[in-house]
């Protein structure tokens, strides 16, 4: 079985998640350039039937060249 590993948590987003809903809505209206961006690291795991990791791949998503 393959399991995806998302990018690591962004500390600022964890803090915002704990705020009251009206403040979260207000912060969501900030310019995208002021909002935290997601990490560029991700990975996948392959585990066997007993849950042991048999493969682990991770890497960085290349920056776009627009």
pLDDT at 13: 85
Q: Looking at the domain assignment, is residue 20 inside a domain?
A: yes
Q: Looking at the domain assignment, is residue 23 inside a domain?
A: yes
Give the chain's domain count. 1
pLDDT at 64: 66
Q: Looking at the domain assignment, is residue 19 inside a domain?
A: yes
Q: Looking at the domain assignment, is residue 17 inside a domain?
A: yes
Contact 10, 39 (CB under 8 A): yes
Distance (Å, whole) CA 42 – CA 7: 5
Contact 55, 46 (CB under 8 A): yes
What is the chain's mean pLDDT, rounded?
86
46-65 per-position pLDDT tens digit: 999 999 999 999 888 777 65
Q: What residues make up the domain containing 52?
A: 2-29+40-60
Q: Looking at the domain assignment, is residue 35 inside a domain?
A: no
Residue 8 neighbours by CB under 8 Å, 6+ apart: 39, 41
pTM of the model: 0.48
Distance (Å, whole) CA 43 – CA 3: 9
What is the distance between the terminal CA atoms of the chain, rounded to a whole angstrom? 35
pLDDT grade, residue 44 (50/70/90)?
very high
């Amino acid at each position: 079985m393959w399991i995806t590993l998302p990018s690591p948590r962004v500390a600022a987003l964890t803090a915002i998640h704990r705020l009251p809903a009206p403040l979260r809505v207000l912060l969501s209206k900030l310019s995208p350039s002021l909002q935290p961006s997601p990490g560029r690291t991700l990975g996948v795991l392959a585990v066997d039937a007993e849950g042991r990791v048999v493969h682990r791949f991770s890497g960085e998503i290349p920056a776009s060249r627009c």
